[in-house]
Amino acid sequence: MKNALVRLAINAVALYAAIALLNGKGIIPQSENWVSLIWLALIFGLVNAILKPILTVVGCPFIILTLGLGTLLINTLLFYLAGLIGTRFGVGFTVDGFWPAFLGSLIVSVVGVTLNIFLKDDRRDDRR
C-alpha cells in the first residue's frame, strides 16, 4: 500500500512539473489544485498500467526497428491520452499538438525516474 501511494505521489509531482513548465506553451491545465492533480496522477497511472504493456507488445517490431525510440512515441501517446481522459473528468489538461505532448512525456519520465532513484526502497536481500 505504501508503495502505491509513493508511486501516486511521484506521478503527481512529475505531472505537476510537466504542466508547470509547459503551461501556456502547448499545455493548458483544467484546474491547478492538488486534489485534481492527485486524480490526474491516478488516471495517468491507470492508463500506463493498462495500455503501456499492450502497446509495447503490439509495437515491439517498431521499437526494435527504431532501437528503442518507439517507446518515446508510446509515452507521448499515453501522456496525451491521460490528459484527454482527465479533461472528461475535469482534472486533466489539453495538449495543442505532438511536440508539447512529447516534451510533457519527456519531463514526466525524467522527473519520475529521478524521484524513483531518490525515493528508492533500501530493502536488502538477506538470502545468500
Residue 123 domain-assigned? no
Q: What is the pLDDT of residue 98?
A: 94
Number of domains, the chain: 1
Q: How far is CA 17 from the centre of its chain?
A: 11
Closest CA to 27 of 125, 89, 102: 102
C-alpha grid cell, residue 19: 504542466
Residue 107 domain-assigned? yes
Q: What is the pLDDT of residue 127?
A: 52
Q: What is the pLDDT of residue 122?
A: 53
Range of the domain at 9: 2-118
Residue 94 domain-assigned? yes
Mean pLDDT, consecutive 10-residue segments, the chain of 128 residues? 87 93 90 88 94 95 94 95 92 91 96 90 52
Helix ranges restricted to H, 1-128: 2-22, 34-58, 60-65, 70-88, 98-118
Model pTM greater than 0.85?
Answer: yes
Residue 11 domain-assigned? yes
Residue 112 domain-assigned? yes
Length of the chain: 128
> In which residue are the cell numbers 489538461 written?
93
Residue 124 domain-assigned? no
